[in-house]
Amino acid sequence: MKIKSIKNCKNLKNKKVLLRVDFNVPIKSGKVADDYRIQKSLPTIKYLLKNGVIVIIVSHLGRPDGRDKKLSLKPVVKYLENNLKRKVEFVPDFEKIKKLKSKLVMLENIRFYKDEKKDENNFSKKLASIADIFVLDGFGVAHRSSGSVAGVAKFLPSYAGLLLEEEINGLSKIISKPKKPFVVILGGAKMETKIPVLKNVLPKADYVLPGGGIINICLLAEGYKIGNSLADKNLKNIALKYCKSKKFIMPVDVVVGDMEGKKYRLVKLEKKPHQVCKKGEAILDIGPETTNLYAKYIKKAKTLVLNGAMGYFEQHPYEHGTYAIAGLFSARSKGIAYGVSGGGETVEVLRKLKIIDDVDLVSTGGGAMLEFLSGNKLPGLEALK
Ligand code: ADP
Ligand code: MG
């Protein structure tokens, strides 16, 4: 996919750039509790400042219903001031801007405006009127058609920021010409976002290693009794189609137990459907033989994607599958394979294990990455072509 990069934009000096980032970060006691997403966009901010631009940063935070002090972006302004060692002008209401006093400006949470979401009442036109150029850097919002993402691009010359460009190039590599063997590890919980990925990825991948809810749906679809396991029954039929594929490597054992991790046991999966869970039990992790099996595929891969946990890793002892697979994935990514990962919990695991730097591309957008890999058009990116 070819998008216009800000690097190819000449004459930036003294231009006002509306920079849409994804600084939707956790805030605790008025402070940025996790700066990962902000850090990733700092190169773009610095690049623009170096080129003499007046930077107007736009982001959302959470899902406010109108103005909500708790979801103010003021803590992010403070963070940026400390980090960049310069003044950041905070604008509570962009519709009241007369003259900007600083070269670096941040608007208040753009979702405080109700029109942002559906881009109604000329919202994006009004927003665009405060700048000369639009730069999208938040891949995490690229799948949104909201006013400050796809909307403003209709009214301004629009470019991709450095972070967005890096993510798109990395992900494009995977869907156009992945080095073979191409192995996709797909787990997690939000099945309605994961199953569609299979449709686009299965024809391109050599193997798919399922985890989490995908395993559960497939077992259910094949007739295994899975008790309380997390599974969206509506997706059963479509899942059945995918798990019949030779590329789809079904687990050979799973850990079942209670949610508190007090009672648990290993269950070997036979070829013929059988009862996996007893009353009160759910499938909560892949078993050690499955990890061994998956390892064989991961160790041969030249392209790897990891999204979603293998199990309910937040509760001991169900973390082993997720941690082991994440470790194998990052080790292989550090070595021969090109490894891409993304997703809220997935990235959390990689960071917790301190193996995130071994991964070639860590996407800041979970939902956006899945939509991109699903082959869907992302409204924010269409506007930059
Ligand atoms: P990501 O944000 O990385 O894309 P998801 O949001 O789809 O991933 O899902 C991650 C969550 O899935 C984790 O919180 C994990 O506990 C949960 N999960 C994975 N497997 C299971 C399972 N078998 N049962 C219950 N929860 C699971
Ligand atoms: Mg998640």
Q: What is the model's pLDDT at position 367?
A: 84
- pLDDT-derived band at 40 (thresholds 50, 70, 90) equals very high
Predicted confidence (pLDDT) per residue in 46-73, tens digit: 999 999 999 999 999 999 999 999 999 9
CA dihedral over 32, 34, 37, 38, signed as positive or negative: positive
Q: Does 63 participate in catalysis according to the annotation?
A: no
- pLDDT-derived band at 346 (thresholds 50, 70, 90) equals very high
Predicted confidence (pLDDT) per residue in 165-201, tens digit: 999 999 998 888 899 999 999 999 988 888 888 888 8
Helix 36-50 to helix 74-84 angle, to the nearest 10 degrees? 60
**Which member of 126, 190, 236, 351 is catalytic?**
190
Stated pTM of the model: 0.90
Asked if residues 18 and 152 have their Cβ atoms less than 8 Å apart, the reply is yes
Q: What is the model's pLDDT at position 196?
A: 85
Amino acid at 327: G
| Mean pLDDT on 11-23 | 97
- pLDDT-derived band at 130 (thresholds 50, 70, 90) equals very high
Residue 1 has pLDDT above 80, yes or no: no
Ligand at shortest distance from the CA of 367: 1
Q: What is the side-by-side strand order in the sheet with 361-362? A: 207-210, 182-186, 303-307, 338-341, 361-362
Q: Does 344 participate in catalysis according to the annotation?
A: yes
Determine the atom of ligand 1 nearest the C-alpha atom of 314: 16
Residue 371 has pLDDT above 90, yes or no: no
Q: Does 367 participate in catalysis according to the annotation?
A: yes
- pLDDT-derived band at 207 (thresholds 50, 70, 90) equals very high
Predicted confidence (pLDDT) per residue in 221-272, tens digit: 999 999 999 999 999 999 999 999 999 999 999 999 999 999 999 999 999 9
Determine the atom of ligand 1 nearest the C-alpha atom of 229: 24
| Mean pLDDT on 3-30 | 95
The DSSP result for 96-149, as a single string, is G-----SSEEEE--GGGSTHHHHT-TTHHHHHHTT-SEEEE--GGGTT---III
Residue 135 has pLDDT above 80, yes or no: yes
- pLDDT-derived band at 366 (thresholds 50, 70, 90) equals confident
Q: What is the model's pLDDT at position 177?
A: 85
Asked if residues 294 and 249 have their Cβ atoms less than 8 Å apart, the reply is yes
Ligand at shortest distance from the CA of 277: 1
Asked if residues 55 and 17 have their Cβ atoms less than 8 Å apart, the reply is yes
